[in-house]
Structure formats: structure tokens, C-alpha cells
Amino acid sequence: MRLKDKVAVITGGASGIGRATVLKFVREGAKVVIADMNLPQAEGVVAEVEALGFSGSVTAVQTDVSVYADVVDAVAKAVEVFGRLDVIFNNAGIAGGKPLLDHDPEVDYVPMISIDQDGVYYGILAAGRQFRDQGTGGVIISTSSIYGEQAAELAFTYSAAKAAVMSFTRSAAYELAEYGVRAVAIAPGRVGTAIINQFSDELKSTFASEQLRGTMTAPEEIADVVAFLASDESNVINGTVVHVDDGYSVFKKRLDLPSF
């Protein structure tokens, strides 16, 4: 088990990529704090883990990642319950958007920046301080997006926040290296989570066509990569963005080519 005895905080761990990563981590031997706004749903994941036979491996704490004190409390919960912290996965986020000129800043800018950008900053800061104080090093993994590298429809604020996550990752790797801390970001493409699955079949088909396998990525596939990045097997991956987008970023659109 590649994560045996490691302790992790996973924000947004009650659903989607976060939930899949919680399940992957415990199967790989880790102890996990699920830090999520939706405490009943997070406790449901705890019950799910218990039912799988991993009793005592997971606990939940209600966490609003846009509030620094909440993120500090999630880190403290890991230390209180499991004795230390080895990994934080800054995964919590929201999506959505509208055309820029239709924005109400208090609705279409502030909440997304507070969660998708500030929440990652708070996770890096809280975990980085804990790693420094422990003197044991650690790993910081943050969820960015392919949108952090390109312009897209209805994504002005989302793209900005996800680009900031990439910048945070580079800077954190640079500043925290002396404490034995690695920082890595992941950039998913189209993942079959509740955010996307709410759309029409036609739109989901379009999303799937944007990736090379012609299907949306499963949350469990992202979790597999996150577990690897959290492990000692990826010690040379630091300060960079790992694309988990099934080729989304390498091409624009498939064309029906004419005969020559």
C-alpha cells in the first residue's frame, strides 16, 4: 500500500473527485480527514468507508475553505485524530459562469475566487505551516483545471482562479522546498461529476468528444493519479502541473477531413 500510515486532509471530500480520492487513499493505507461544507454528506462517506472495512481510517469536519480558520481547523483535526499531517489535497471548488459583461461581481466573481482561489491559498498556508512545525516534510496537491491555461466560454472568473492555483503551486514548491515539502497541481479536463452530469446528454456528448478517448474521465481515474502524486514514488514531481485531461489540451476539435 503506497500510502500506508500517511495522514491526509482532502477538501471537498464528500463528493466527486474528492470522494473518489478518499476511497482510493484509504485503500492505499492512508488516514483521511474529509473537510467539506456538507457535513452530513461527508459523514456519509465516513460510513461508506467504515462499511468497506476501514474502521477508524476516516473522520469528517465541516469546512468552508473560503474561511482560513476553518482550513486551519481541518489541519488541526488531522493532527488531533491521527497525530500528524502528510498530505493535503486542495480539491474543493465550484464552477459555473456567465458572459463577462453580464457579471454581478458579488455573485459571479467573489464567491468563486473565495473558494477556488483563496481556498487553495489557505490550504497551502495551513498545511505548509504544519509541515514546517512537524519537521517531517509533506505533499501539497491542488486541483486546477485545463481552463487555467486557456480562455473558454462562460469561464472568466473560473479560469482566473484555476490559473492562480498553478502559480500558487510553483511558488509553494519554491518557498517550501527547504522544509521538505512538495507542491503539485493537477489539471483535469471533462470529469463525470455531478457538476457535469446535470447537463443534457447532447452537451455531455460534446464534452466527451473534446477528449481523446471520446469519453468523460471518471473521478476514480483522477484519484489514481492523486494517490500516486501523494506517494513517495513521485518524489521528483514538484512545482509543476500534471495534466489529467485525456488529451483535452493537445487539440482543438476533430474535423471531418475532405478527400484529397
With a cut of 90, say whether residue 86 has pLDDT above it.
yes
Per-residue pLDDT, 65: 98
Q: What is the Cα–Cα distance from 75 to 71, expressed in whole angstroms?
A: 6
Per-residue pLDDT, 197: 83
With respect to residue 253, please indicate whether it lies within any of the assigned structural domains. no
With respect to residue 256, please indicate whether it lies within any of the assigned structural domains. no
Per-residue pLDDT, 244: 98
With a cut of 90, say whether residue 203 has pLDDT above it.
no
* Arithmetic mean of pLDDT, 156-179: 98
Q: What is the Cα–Cα distance from 63 to 48, expressed in whole angstroms?
A: 20
With respect to residue 12, please indicate whether it lies within any of the assigned structural domains. yes
Q: What is the 3-state secondary structure (H, E, C) of the chain?
A: CCCCCCEEEEECCCCHHHHHHHHHHHHCCCEEEEEECCHHHHHHHHHHHHHCCCCCCEEEEECCCCCHHHHHHHHHHHHHHHCCCCEEEECCCCCCCCCHHHCCHHHHCHHHHHHHHHHHHHHHHHHHHHHHHHCCCEEEEEECCHHHHCCCCCCHHHHHHHHHHHHHHHHHHHHHHHHCEEEEEEEECCECCHHHHCCCHHHHHHHHHCCCCCCCECHHHHHHHHHHHHCHHHCCCCCCEEEECCCHHHCCCCCCCCCC
With 0-12 / 13-18 / 19 or more C-beta atoms within 10 angstroms meaning exposed / middle / buried, residue 33 is buried
Q: What amino acid positions are annotated as catalytic residues?
A: 158
* Arithmetic mean of pLDDT, 198-227: 93
With respect to residue 226, please indicate whether it lies within any of the assigned structural domains. yes
Per-residue pLDDT, 48: 98
With respect to residue 258, please indicate whether it lies within any of the assigned structural domains. no
With respect to residue 44, please indicate whether it lies within any of the assigned structural domains. yes
- The C-alpha angle with vertex 131 and arms to 65 and 32, in degrees rounded to 5, equals 55
- Cell output for 142: 491542488
CATH number for 151 = 3.40.50.720
Range of the domain at 25: 7-242
With a cut of 80, say whether residue 256 has pLDDT above it.
no
Per-residue pLDDT, 194: 81
Q: Cell 480527514 appears where? A: 33
Q: How many CA atoms lie within 13 A of 35 on its CB side?
A: 31
Q: How many domains does the chain have?
A: 1
144-170 per-residue burial string, b: 16 or more CB within 10 A, e: under 16: bbbbbbeeeeebbbbbbbbbbbbebbe
* Arithmetic mean of pLDDT, 234-259: 89
Q: Which residue has the higher pLDDT, 176 or 201?
A: 176
Per-residue pLDDT, 191: 96
* Percent of the chain whose pLDDT exceeds 70: 99
Q: What is the pTM of this model?
A: 0.96
Q: What is the pLDDT of residues 6-63, one digit of tens each?
A: 999 999 999 999 999 999 999 999 999 999 999 999 999 999 999 999 999 999 999 9
With a cut of 70, say whether residue 260 has pLDDT above it.
no
With respect to residue 33, please indicate whether it lies within any of the assigned structural domains. yes
Mean pLDDT across the chain, nearest whole number? 96
Asked if residues 223 and 249 have their Cβ atoms less than 8 Å apart, the reply is no
With respect to residue 76, please indicate whether it lies within any of the assigned structural domains. yes
Q: What is the pLDDT of residues 92-151, one digit of tens each?
A: 999 988 999 999 999 999 999 999 999 999 999 999 999 999 999 999 999 999 999 999
Sign of the Cα torsion 15, 20, 25, 27 reads: positive
Q: What is the Cα–Cα distance from 213 to 73, expressed in whole angstroms?
A: 41
* Percent of the chain whose pLDDT exceeds 90: 88
